Chain A
Amino acid sequence: MDTVKQLRDKIAVGQTKSTDAVKAVFDHIEKHESTIGAYISLYKEQALEQAGKIDEKIAAGRPVGPLAGVPIAIKDNMCTTFGATTCGSKILENFHAPYNAHIVEKLNAANAIIIGKCNLDEFAMGSSTENSGLKKTVNPWDTDRVPGGSSGGSAAAVAARLCCGALGSDTGGSIRQPASFCGVVGLKPTYGRVSRYGLVAYGSSLDQIGPLTQDVTDTALLLNTIAGHDQRDSTSVPETMAPVPDYLEQLETPVKGLKIATVPHLNKGADASVQKALQDALEVYKSLGAEIIEIDMPHFDYAISAYYVIATAEASSNLARFDGVHYGYRSQNANDYIEVYSKSRDEAFGQEVKRRIMLGTYALSSGYYDAYYLKALKVRNLIRSDFTKAFEQADCLMMPVSPTTAFKIGEKTDDPLQMYLADIYTIAVNLAGVPGISIPCGFDEKNLPIGLQIISAPFSEDKLLRIARMHEKQTDWHTKKPNI
C-alpha cells in the first residue's frame, strides 16, 4: 500500500487510477477486516463511484484537489450525511447526521475518498477500544492485544493498510497512544487548529481532530487539508492570529540548533524497553547535532487527577443531550418521561461512559465543585505553565507516549483506575492545549511497536513535523509492517 502522498502523486499523473486503488484497498479489507475489526461501516459503492469521477476528471485534464482519489478512513465520531454516525455507542447506533463535520467537507473538497468509519471506545472514552459498544478491534501486530484507544480503529486500519491514512480525535491521548501501539504516526494538533464542528463532543476544551498515517509526510499533507479557521466552531482560531502554513513546504529542512528537553523523573515510570527506545531516539537527534537538556515539570504528576475531573465534568454536561427524545435510542420500558431519560441512558450507554458521567456529575455537584472542579482548573493552569517554561528553554519536549506497549485484551478492563494511570504521558498535552505527535521509534522484545512523543509550543506544528521528520529520515521504524 502506497502512502497518501505516493498514491496521490501517482493518481494525479494518471500512473494509477483511483478506481484501481479503491478496489485494491477493498480487496485487502475483504481479506483482513474480519480479523482486525477496524471499521464500523464501509462505503464501497459510494467510494467507487467517487473514484470513477476523479479518474474522469484527471483523464479530461481538469484540476483536482490535493488528496484526489486517495482512500481515507475517519473515526466514527465525526458526522457524515452518509451512513450512521455511531460513536461506538448503542445510543447512536442508528443515528444519521443531517450535516457533515467540517473535516468531512474539507476531505471532500480535497477530493479524498472516505471509504469507511472506524471503531472507537464509546464516545472516545477509553485507551483500548474495548469500550466500543458495537465492535471489537484488535492490534494488527498481535491480535490478542488491544490497538489502543480511543482511535483504535483508525490506528489499526492504517497499520494493517486497510486505508491509506485516517483521521482520529484526541482528548487525552486518543490519537497518539493508538498510533504508538500500532506503529504509525499520529498527531494531536494545537487546540483550535482544526474545527470541531461535527465532531461529537466528549471534553470540549480538550478535544481535537488529527491525522493517523504511515509517515510524517502524510500527517503534514492531511493537516494541510484539515487545519484552518471555521466560523462554526467558536474556539477555532482565526488565521490572522495563527496562520496556517503549508506543512509540506519546509518538512525536509532540519531544525537548526535543535534543543530538546527531557524530563528524567517522568521517564522512569515507563517499561525498560520503552525507556531504551526513547534513549535511542535521543541518540539519533544527538548525532544530528541536537542539544538535549534535562528539565523538571513539577505539576505533571497531577495531570491525571486534573484531567479525570475536567474531562468527565465536560462529558457529563455534553452527554446530557442524549435524552431518548430528539435522536438516538429510546427505551421501550419507560413508563413516564423521567424514565425515558433514565432507562434509555442506562440501557444504551456502556459502563465506562456511565462511570465518567457519574464522576463528572459528582465533581460538579453542590458541595464538591470547589474541591474538585475548580481545583482541577487551577492545577490545569499550573500544568500549562510547566509547558510554557519548557518551551522557553527548548524547541520541544520528548518523552514516551505510553509507559507500556500494547497490552492484552481484557487485561485492564476490571480496573478503570489502572487504565487511567496509563495515560500519564499524553494527558497533560491536552490540558495545556499544545500539539503532540507520536512517531514509531522501536519495538519491544515481543515485537510490539513503541512510539516517541514529541511536544512543542502552541501552533508550532510546522516545526514539530520537521523535528519528527529528522528522526524518520535516519531510521526505518515507520517502514515496518505487521504480518497479518
Chain B
Amino acid sequence: MTAKIDEAQVRRVALLSRLELSNEEVAQFSTQLSDIVEYIEKLSGLDTDNVQPLAHCLPVYNVLREDVPHPSLTNDQALANAPDREDEYFKVPKILDDNSGA
C-alpha cells in the first residue's frame, strides 16, 4: 500500500509550516503521519450530516471593555527577548533584494 502522506506531501506541509526538515525527518514523518492519519480517518465512519461543528465548549461571545488606555509594555521590555535588534526595532535579514524597486 502506498503511504497516505508521501514524501512530496510531507515537503509541501513542511513548507507551509516553515520547517526545514532533513531528508531523514521527511522519510520518518511520511511513515508516522500516514499511520496517524489512517487512524484518524475512522472519523469518516460517523454520520455527522445534522451535527453542528463545536469549536468551543462554552458559549463564546465578544468581550468588550471601555476604550480607555491601559499601561502596556515599554519598547525595551518588548524588545528584551529579541534575538537581534537595532535601536527600537527587531532586526531581520533583508527581505527585498537591492533591485526590487522598493
Contacts and interface: CB of A to CB of B under 8 A. Distances in A.
Interface string A130-169: 0000000000000000000000000000000000000000
B81 A327 contact: yes
A355 B5 CA distance: 13
A205 B92 CA distance: 33
A329 B39 contact: no
A358 B53 contact: no
Contacts of B57: 191, 205, 384, 431-434, 458
Nearest to B83: A330
Interface residues of A, number: 71
Contact of B58 (A345, A354, A433): A433
Contacts of A38: none
B36 A379 contact: no
Contacts of B29: 354-355, 358
Contacts of B54: 377-378, 380-381, 384
Interface in B47-77: 48, 51-58, 60, 63, 65, 73, 77
Contacts of B81: 94-96, 98, 326-328
A417 interface: yes
Interface of A is mostly: helix
A274 to B, nearest CB: 23
B84 A330 contact: yes
A346 B21 contact: yes
A300 interface: no
B82 A378 contact: no
Contacts of B17: 316, 345, 354, 357-358, 361
B78 A98 contact: yes
Given A231-B63, A235-B58, A325-B90, A362 B5 contact: yes
Interface stretch (A255-263, A264-272, A305-313, A399-407): A305-313
Interface in A320-363: 320, 323-330, 334-343, 345-346, 349, 351, 354-355, 357-359, 361-362
Contacts of B21: 346, 354
B6 to A, nearest CB: 12
Q: 8 nearest interchain CB pairs?
A: A433-B57, A327-B81, A377-B53, A330-B83, A381-B54, A378-B48, A342-B20, A341-B18
Given A330-B84, A382-B48, A431-B57, 12 more contacts: A96-B81, A191-B57, A305-B40, A305-B41, A327-B82, A330-B83, A343-B20, A354-B19, A358-B33, A365-B16, A371-B44, A376-B43
Interface of A: 94-96, 98-99, 191-192, 205, 231, 234-235, 237, 299, 302, 304-306, 308-309, 316, 320, 323-330, 334-343, 345-346, 349, 351, 354-355, 357-359, 361-362, 365, 371-372, 374-382, 384, 416-417, 420, 431-434, 458
5 contacts: A95-B81, A309-B40, A358-B17, A359-B37, A371-B44
